[in-house]
Amino acid sequence: MKKPLLVSFLLLTLVLGACGGGSLEGEEVTITGALIGVEQDLFRAAFDSFTEETGIIVSYTGSDNFEQEIQIQMESGDTPDFALWPQPGAVVDAAKRGYLIPMADLDIDVDDYKNNYSSYLVGLGEVDGVVYGGAASVNLKSLVWYQPEEFAARGYSVPETWDEMIALADQIVADGMNPFCFGMYSNGASGWLATDWMEDIMLRTGSGTDSYDKWVTNELAFTDPIVKNAATLLSQIMHTENYVVGGTDAIVSTFFGNAQDPMFSKDANGNPGCFMHRQASFITAFWPEGENQFAGSKTTVFPFPVIDASLPKAALGAGDMWGAFNDRDATKAVAEYMLSVGFFDSIAASPDNSRLSAHASYPAANYNSDLYKEFGQIVSDALSANAFRFDASDLMPPEVGAGSFWKEMMNLAVEGPGYVDTALDNIQKSWP
Amino acid sequence: MRYYKLVVMKEKTQRQKLLNFGISTLSLGIFPLIWFLSQAILFRELTELISRNWLVVVGIIIGSTFIFLLFYGMNFFISLADRDSRESLEAKMFVGPSIFMIGLFLFYPALRTIYLSFQDRYGTSYNGFDNYMWAFSDPEMLVTIRNQIIWLVFVVTFVLIIGLVVGWLSDRLNKGEAFFKSVVFLPMAISAVGASAIFKFIYEYRPPPLTQIGIINGIRVSVDREGYVCANNKIIEGVNRVVGDENCLPPIGWLQQRDMSNLPFVQNLDLDNWFNSIIVNIPINTILLMVIMIWMFTGFAAVVFSAGIKAIPNEIMEAGQIDGASELRVFTSIIIPYIKSTIVVVGTYMVVTVLKAFDIIYVGTRGDLETNLLAVKMLDEFSKYRNIGRSATVAVLIFVCVFPIIWFTIKRERETIS
């Protein structure tokens, strides 16, 4: 009774085992990452046509705790074929520790890759001149959300410069309303919204991308006048009376995903709680129910205002980057596919998509909605002009970028404009 | 003659002892070691040679026979020993593997963690006591240690006191005691993550024009002030009473308050007074997070105490009452001394639980705004700041705090046995 069962089991595994040899047909490539939910489904679906063509089975597993898990997997040597990190800093970190395979060894033409994805993006995954990271997708942060109807009804016009924005804010306050929505509470990451503001301001002041790049490596210290000026401008938004709905209490206490809600609700006089909300492209997912179908019409964006008109129009974003743990032939094939223009087509076509291709010449027309076509255009323009910059706090050492910078921005919000110097001093001191 | 016999016996035992020692090292030490190593080497080679699917099959076949052969082999060596010592060796044979497994998965990681706590952020080079210097000088770390002490003192004290009172009172109920106790015990049935999520909704904050969904802020913004009607975005007598009205109280982000400065009564205090300056600096968010744990564990403590109180002989209680002792006197002089050991057990359990407290902070605030505890800090250092050395240091700190309690418990256990 037992013997035939065992024999058939052995036969089955023999057959399964035999399939594993030979061509790339049936080879499995594993990817782990932090994309979950809808984004996970979209990412998986992006490999459907690839699997049909080559027979390579790509299995992606997303996890909430990806960053912890991959640390443990790297330590123990039990890695997947690829890891898709939410920020390039982690790729560099893994590469420095010798876990990743250089792109050149994956038969990727590095020069082509740099042309397609801009040398700045590629440079984010570089260690000592060797490229390790594969740029995947980006999001766009230099956006201010507003409702055109509310603006039109009160005769407000969309501000193009910082001064215009401040003038508009003052007018809104004079009309008895609050111009800004601002909430930066985020479990364990509270303060990142203020660091985003700082980065957007940094890109548009001083010497623009130059001083920004120096700031990221701390060549330009946090105590530098350029940084201080940026923090002062941010403090102007945070601390000018009635600028932010709910005041500094609301800035510190409001979950970033709820921050825009006052814009969608009316007070006793029929006025919205706020008029402007500076937030990244992905925020539509957090809007009150039913509102995100009107993204791009009822609620739409204007680019973060220009501060110094002599600087090129910059765009701030963040995004993910992958690294490969081995150079099997199947891994090489997948790496090549992930860097091709077509990789993003099925993702871009989906109405649920909230990411943008990092390919500089990705056709913006491929995106599903007008809003994303606009985003795609802004991103590829900025990439081509080499004025796209990555979220600085993601690039700084984690003690600063995920530690003191966030924390001191929270303190700045609580303590008021007089705290600017102390905050910047403290951040500078914590730089390892 | 008698003397001679004794010597022979002694000689025999010594030879036997030697033989037994040899057999036990062979059967419990050398044989399992060689067996384990050969397995490990075999599988290391196999992973390179055969495909994954085959490896699974081979693993199942070899793995399952492995344990059988291990015990068979050990039993064979033990059977070489003489009859008297065989029994104890057989017992050791069954204890041995579990000790080995605990060693592999508990002692080895513990030693490795201590080793790593003297290493740099990648765990690759020695950096002396730097991590420990950091642990006791970094401002964030000091706040974490402060919070851990506050948690230890207040959570343990409140759980014990409230648990005792509730346990004692429930014991005095004539009717419905079982029902009352099961209701009080209920929070224990919820996972800490669930409880934290529930309380997070209670403390929830929305920026002012929005309707408050958290019950505390909901009540707060609905309190009428000096004849002025306030409400949580409700139309009362034709007037829309909105949140954020200047005449009403504003909502407060409770879990984001690290001191009392946002409460109206504190704003009028004279801060030069030392007592007032302490009041102002009470960390509201830490207290509100502690409430979650107290809420969860009070019922457990109450049920355990009530069982202890039930075990007190009626004669003693009656004797006390006849002697004219008041209820309070009975409580302090009879009940507490009688269930002292229960209090110690619950107290020890609570201390260890608080030292390991993780879920509440992780779900509640994730350590933001000075609410962190050591267990979450350990994870933060590992995954957020990617610093293996410091993470290990925090782990060692937790271990050092738990260790005296374990030692104390073992000692007490021994005393009860002997």
Per-residue model confidence as pLDDT tens digits over A284-297 = 888 888 887 888 88
User: Chain-wide mean pLDDT for chain A?
Assistant: 87
Instruction: Please give the domain boundaries of chain A with CATH numbers for all domains.
Output: 24-140+318-385 (3.40.190.10), 143-313+396-430 (3.40.190.10)
Contact (Cβ atoms closer than 8 angstroms) between residue B305 and residue B167: yes
pLDDT of residue A179: 93
Residue B321 lies in a domain: yes
Q: Is residue A419 over pLDDT 80?
A: yes
Nearest partner of A43 among A400, A402, A347, judged by Cα: A347
Q: At B417, is the pLDDT very low, low, confident or very high (cuts 50, 70, 90)?
A: low
Residues 185-214 of chain A whose Cβ lies under 8 A from any Cβ of chain B = 185-190
B332 and B186 part of one domain? yes
The answer to whether A57 faces chain B, any CB pair under 8 Å, is no
pLDDT of residue A225: 93
Q: Which of B206, B220, B267, B359 to mutate to test the interface with A (most CBs of A within 10 A)?
A: B206
Phi, psi of A104 (to 5 degrees): -60, -35
Per-residue model confidence as pLDDT tens digits over B367-381 = 888 899 999 999 989
Give, in order, the Cα–Cα distances in Å from A331 to each of A31, A107, A246, A254, B15.
10, 10, 52, 43, 64
Q: Is residue B1 over pLDDT 70?
A: no
User: Chain-wide mean pLDDT for chain B?
Assistant: 85
Q: At A361, is the pLDDT very low, low, confident or very high (cuts 50, 70, 90)?
A: confident
pLDDT of residue B11: 57
Q: Are A249 and B250 in contact (CB < 8 Å)?
A: yes
Instruction: Provide the 10 A C-beta neighbour count for residue B242.
Output: 24
Give, in order, the Cα–Cα distances in Å from A199 to each of A216, A230, A395.
10, 8, 12
Six-digit token string for A100: 């990743």
CATH number, residue B173: 1.10.3720.10
Rounded to a whole number of angstroms, the distance from the CA of A67 to the nearest CA of chain B is: 6
Contacts of B387 in chain A (CB under 8 A): 399
Q: At B390, is the pLDDT very low, low, confident or very high (cuts 50, 70, 90)?
A: very high
Q: At A1, is the pLDDT very low, low, confident or very high (cuts 50, 70, 90)?
A: very low
B186 and B303 part of one domain? yes
B313 and B409 part of one domain? yes
Q: Is residue A311 over pLDDT 80?
A: yes
B69 and B144 part of one domain? no
Residue B245 lies in a domain: no
CB-nearest to A71 from B207, B380, B382 is: B382
CA separation for the pair B181, B185 (Å, rounded):
6
CA separation for the pair B120, B122 (Å, rounded):
6
B39 and B165 part of one domain? no
**DSSP letters for A74-127:** HHHT---SEEEESSHHHHHHHHHTT-SPPGGGGT--HHHHHHHH-HHHHHTTEE
The kind and range of the H/E element at B160 are helix B139-171
Average pLDDT of span A324-348: 91
Measure CA of the first residue to CA of the last residue in chain B; give whole Å.
Answer: 41
Residue B34 lies in a domain: yes
**DSSP letters for B313-373:** -HHHHHHHHHTT--HHHHIIIIIHHHTHHHHHHHHHHHHHHHHT--HHHHHHTTTTTTT--
Q: Is residue B86 over pLDDT 90?
A: no
Q: Is residue A4 over pLDDT 80?
A: no
CA separation for the pair A160, A170 (Å, rounded):
15
How far is C-alpha A30 from the chain's CA centre? 23
Rg (CA), chain B: 31
B180 and B43 part of one domain? no
Q: At A13, is the pLDDT very low, low, confident or very high (cuts 50, 70, 90)?
A: very low
Nearest partner of B229 among B245, B250, B252, judged by Cα: B245
Structurally, chain B folds into a number of domains equal to 2
CA separation for the pair A142, A283 (Å, rounded):
12
pLDDT of residue B411: 86
Q: Which of B49, B65, B85 is the last residue before a domain boundary?
A: B85
B412 and B299 part of one domain? yes
3-class secondary structure per residue, B136-153: CCCHHHHHHHHHHHHHHH
Contact (Cβ atoms closer than 8 angstroms) between residue B281 and residue B256: no
Residue B22 lies in a domain: yes
Q: Are A17 and B385 in contact (CB < 8 Å)?
A: no
Rounded to a whole number of angstroms, the distance from the CA of B98 to the nearest CA of chain A is: 24
Phi, psi of A125 (to 5 degrees): -105, 25
What ranges in A274-356 are assigned the alpha helix state H?
Answer: 329-338, 345-349
The residue that leads in pLDDT, A12 or B123, is B123
Looking at the DSSP bridge assignments, the partners of residue A317 are: A140, A390
pLDDT of residue A29: 93
pLDDT of residue B246: 79
Q: Are A188 and B208 in contact (CB < 8 Å)?
A: no
pLDDT of residue A401: 86
Smallest CA–CA distance from B371 into chain A, residue: A188
Residue B238 lies in a domain: no
User: Three-state DSSP class for A265?
Assistant: coil
Residue B255 lies in a domain: no
Contacts of B58 (CB under 8 A, 6+ apart): B46, B50
Per-residue model confidence as pLDDT tens digits over A14-44 = 444 444 444 778 889 999 998 888 889 999 9
Residue B290 lies in a domain: yes
Average pLDDT of span B90-110: 83
Average pLDDT of span A39-63: 91
Average pLDDT of span A423-431: 92
The kind and range of the H/E element at A357 are strand A356-357
User: What is the extent of the structural domain holding B31?
Assistant: 2-85
The most confident of the ranges A78-87, A393-402, B144-153 is B144-153
Residue B116 lies in a domain: no
Per-residue model confidence as pLDDT tens digits over B402-416 = 888 888 888 887 877
B61 and B155 part of one domain? no
Q: At A12, is the pLDDT very low, low, confident or very high (cuts 50, 70, 90)?
A: very low
